[in-house]
Amino acid sequence: MYVLMRILESSPERYDMGISVVTLGRIKPAYDRIASHIKCGMKVLDIGCGTGLLSIRMAERGALVRGIDINPAMLEIAKKRLKQSDMPEELKENVEFSEMGVAELSSVSEGSYDAATSTLCFSELSQDEIRFTLRELRRIIKPGGLLLIADETVPKNLVKRFVYALIRLPLVIVTYLITGTTTKSLREPALQIEEAGFAVESINMNGMESFTEIIARNPGSH
């Protein structure tokens, strides 16, 4: 379903309205579940924060959030949303949005975050980028800290994969025609996260296995 995201991203102004329709309302509860792991005072890195929905939700819980994204237009909306939100001014100051890609994570210092989150962003990264990001996150997240991911995934079950491909195909074509880009879904993200040295604590999938939420912990010792 999330192929359409590319269309939304190409016009960030329409992104928010579209994203919840496109994810069939699945993304909002996913934000809530992710945010529920974030406690007051925690330092959180939100990777590919987009229009900042999740970042702001976590800030409302008292977290110190840095949202990074490569799309300046999306970040502009995130900043505007933050300004207009009704959370107390002193909490707003705890949020920082910066234009930065995952490739620049090597400039972030070791152990500087209690948790990292990323929703619907890993599926837009290349394999090289995913490997690099996970390796950097192992360094950046404090030992014992959390990695929380929610993204579109390729179903493991063959029948489901077939049905999924069938449903996706027309959307892929429409997306391609409008934006000239395609999105891929993640294949076995939990496995990759584990291979990077994280301890995966829970994997939560929808019935179609096309949307996965992963909670992992950085065991620390490299």
Using CB under 8 A, list all residues that contact other proteins: 70, 72, 101-104, 106-107, 126-129, 131-132, 176, 180-182
What does 12 interact with, of ligand SAM, other proteins, none (CB < 5 to 8 A by kind)?
Answer: none
CA angle 187, 193, 196 (to 5 degrees): 125
> Side-chain half-sphere of 200: how many Cα atoms within 13 Å?
17
- Residue in the structure block whose two tokens are 């999105």: 183
What gap in Å lies between CA 187 and CA 152, rounded to an integer?
9
- Taking the least distance from each CB to ligand SAM, the nearer of 69 and 114 is 69
Cα atoms found within 13 Å of the Cα of residue 68, Cβ hemisphere only:
14
Given 120, 137, 148, 190, the residue binding ligand SAM (CB under 6 A): 120
Cβ 16 vs Cβ 80: under 8 Å:
no
Interface residue with ligand SAM, options 26, 76, 111, 129 (CB under 6 A): 129
Q: What tokens does 193 get?
A: 């996260």
Yes or no: say if 48 and 120 are a contact pair by the CB < 8 Å rule. Answer: yes
Report the Cα 25 to chain-centroid distance in Å.
16
Q: Which is nearer to ligand SAM, 19 or 148 (CB)?
A: 19
215 binds, among ligand SAM, other proteins, none (CB under 5 to 8 A by kind): none
Nearer to other proteins, 71 or 210 (CB): 71
Which of ligand SAM, other proteins, none binds 213 (CB below 5-8 Å, type-dependent)?
none
Q: Rule CB under 6 A: which residues touch ligand SAM?
A: 5, 9, 19, 48-50, 53-54, 68-71, 74, 101-102, 119-121, 124-125, 129
